[in-house]
Amino acid sequence: MMKKRIIPVLVGCLTFGLLPKLSAQEPAGQEVPESKWDDIGSNWYLEAGAGAQVLFSKDVSSLGFGDRITPSFSLTGGKWFSEYWGLRLQLQGYSFNGYSTVNGIYLGDPLQGGLIYGPHDPVRNEVTIHPDGSYRHFLRYMNLHADFQFSLLHFLRRGETDSKWDVIPAVGLGYMHLFPYKGTLANNALTANFSVMGKYRLTKDFDLNLEVQTAVMPDQFDGRIAGRLYENNCAVTLGVTYYFKKRGFKHRVQYIPQEVIRVVKDTVTVNKEVRVEVEKKVFCEPFTLASIRFNLNRYVPRKNQEMQYVNIVKYLEQNPRAKIRLDGYADSLGTAAYNLHLSMKRAVWVRDILMKEYGVDGSRIQAQGIGVNGQPYKKGDWNRVVLVTVLEE
């Protein structure tokens, strides 16, 4: 009878958790980049966490709060199917500290037919009963649950993924197993699970996360019928997430700048602005993304060009499959051999800045010196430059 009463509550909770996704449809005719599902091998992750939890039951308030705190561990595997939503399977649990009194009704072993013991609790044979008839009981459990998770910040930013932060609510159904321990009998129960997780992206492969979650169980899950509709816990865990293969999503519509050359102080910027429909590739052809300028006979870049590096790194983060080529040039002063050597040192220096100061993977960067051959600009001192070219996949 108790399970029949809680099923409508669980279904209602799950439906409420899905409403944000159902209401996130774009208005008809509004033109925005459309998220594309990535291949099946992408955006899989494994997550491990550890922390503490407390149990909320009818008599547990009689136990000191410090004595109610117990360890909690979790192991999670999941996949994001878009910037907005994903699915996960989590195994969470370890122990609860509960509290009982001699006034109550207790279940028999469900594995032996689930008969009611009546007023006798098998836990009393393993613990000390206080003069007021109260006693502490210890539970060992694991809760396996499947959850729908929703990226709240990505939804609010309409899929923009520049930020390293995210807030992820999740809702799902689970199956809890109670292990026999110190008189507590083995038991199984359905659970409703709710959580909110805060994430911070450490690297392209790892996230740091803090999760607050609760599992709602039927009243008799611990073997005691206390007269409540349900009991629940609250767990707080700190964990690390590892992404396999790659993470992130493409878009069907890409906005690539159209070729415009302008001079801002001492920096030559070459952009392209072409709107293209993309299905399988992010780029249609190589294009110049940025330029880094140098002084005469110098291979260390001029100062105050940090914005160029930031734009390069941002583009690579948004396009995980992209690679770049650094083409070093020199002006026509001096010998061809000297300028070829100087242009190569300029390209290598920019590559080292991107790798060491901005964490770009070296396998995504090619560097070459061109010297005075095929100089890109007519004005001589403009050719003291390294052009950053985005390559095809």
pLDDT in tens, 109-152: 554 555 566 667 788 888 888 887 778 888 899 999 999 999 99
Residue 309 and residue 173 share a domain: no
Q: Is the pLDDT of residue 212 over 90?
A: yes
Position 253 scores a pLDDT of 43
Task: Tell me the C-alpha to C-alpha distance, in Å, between residue 375 and each of 153, 261, 312, 324, 340.
Answer: 45, 15, 22, 19, 12
How many separate domains does the chain show?
2
- What are the tokens at 252? 């069907």
Q: How far apart are CA 136 and CA 6, in angstroms?
A: 27
Q: Is the pLDDT of residue 186 over 60?
A: yes
Q: Is the pLDDT of residue 312 over 50?
A: yes
- pLDDT per residue over 37-47, tens digit each? 446 778 899 99
The domain boundary, picked from 213, 243, 273, lies at: 243
The domain boundary, picked from 225, 243, 261, lies at: 243
The pLDDT confidence band at residue 295, using thresholds 50, 70 and 90, is very high
- What are the tokens at 269? 């910027």
Contact between 184 and 139 under an 8 Å Cβ cutoff? The reply is yes
Q: Is the pLDDT of residue 267 over 80?
A: no
In a domain, 232, yes or no: yes
Residue 172 and residue 57 share a domain: yes
Q: pTM value?
A: 0.55
The domain boundary, picked from 243, 274, 291, lies at: 243
- CATH code where residue 276 lies: 3.30.1330.60
Contact between 206 and 41 under an 8 Å Cβ cutoff? The reply is no
Q: How far apart are CA 353 and CA 323, in angstroms?
A: 16
Domain span at 235: 32-243
Mean pLDDT of 256-278: 50
